[in-house]
Amino acid sequence: MDRYRITHQVVQGARPGQSLAVKQFFPQGPSPTGRPVTLLLAHATGFHKELWEPLLEELPLSSADEVLNPPQPSTHISNIYWGSSKTATDHPRSWHIARIIAFDGWCHGDSAALNRSHLQQKTSWLDNTRDILALIQQLSIDTALIGVGHSYGASSLLLTEIVKPGTFAALLPVEPVIAFAGPRFLETSFERVLSRKAQWRDIAEAHTYFTRHPFFRDWDPRVQALHVQHGLTSVPGTEAWQLKCHPKDEYEVFQGGFRDAVWLLSRLVEIGCPLRYLMGEESTICPNEQFGQAHANASIRADVYIIKGSGHLLLMERPALVASHLALFLTHAMAFVPNGSPLKPQL
């Protein structure tokens, strides 16, 4: 991560007494050209902010570095024309990344340790939305803000834009959890989360587990290593290691999403900023092109790329591909982002 200057902060959550661990990445190098943008990254349930870092290693930092052709292999579903992909430095579409903000949800990663006395209670994905708005307010963002989220994080960003329109200049939801699946979604059970393995006798055993378990073994090796390094914490007085996000807390977040994903479906039409959904062809969340078309139809300005050979965890499995899609989306979306002072959301 030599291409970034990295800082760590703790900000207040929206609820009294709760805090959020934040990591900011400031690109280093020659003076950039193009319009500055800030990325806000929101992770999936059960995970943490560091899992974005392999994507950040691969991400073009300006339109001058971006690959103009759509990354392959994927299927594109669109109701809109984004226009030419020219990215000359004086073109309205030209951009550079000024800052990247990643944070741990209130019961995830380093935030879980900060909020230990508040954990294992019922929650809503709208709690994450309110935390996102509180974080934005405290970090004084002065550029166009682009939201990039995965799963729970993607849905939380969509909810944020619905609750506070104009928060984001554009949104890239990766595999958002939205209740398009009808009865199949409503019959989903999250009880298996409660039996998830949460402790290992030492860090070596944990590493072996995450590299061999079917759920994790297809992940990019960098993501696997970061999950062991940052997703676990030592058990005091022993050599054992355990998950920072306890399965009970993860379960409560899933339960909250069960309710909020249904509400989200009915409100997507209210989102006016550019949207690009990334979905895995083999995903059980949005499993085929008909569901992808439903996402594109539900929003005013949206399209969908379905990534072949990937499932719901495509961010962990193919971070370089997601980075390429993000860069292309920035080039497309900037044509719709007005010049001038960015909107500054207020609580």
Assessment of whether the complete model's pTM goes beyond 0.85: yes
Residue among 37, 295, 6 at smallest CA distance from 144: 37
Count of domains in the chain?
Answer: 1
Residue 87 lies in a domain: yes
pLDDT at residue 346, as a whole number: 37
Residue 220 lies in a domain: no
Residue 174 lies in a domain: yes
Residue 51 lies in a domain: yes
Residue 218 lies in a domain: no
Residue 273 lies in a domain: yes
10-residue stretch averages of pLDDT, the chain, 347 residues long = 95 94 95 91 97 97 75 71 46 86 97 85 88 96 96 95 96 86 56 88 96 94 97 96 94 79 81 92 74 75 89 95 94 80 40
Contact 136, 145 (CB under 8 A): yes
Residue 342 lies in a domain: no
Residue 214 lies in a domain: no
pLDDT at residue 88, as a whole number: 36
pLDDT at residue 77, as a whole number: 79
Summarised one tens digit per residue, pLDDT across range 260-305 is: 777 787 788 899 999 999 999 888 776 667 767 777 777 778 899 9
pLDDT at residue 92, as a whole number: 62
Q: Show the domain range for 140.
A: 4-181+249-336
CATH at residue 140: 3.40.50.1820
Tell me how crowded residue 282 is: count the other CB atoms within 10 A of its CB.
14
102 - beta bridge partners?
23, 41
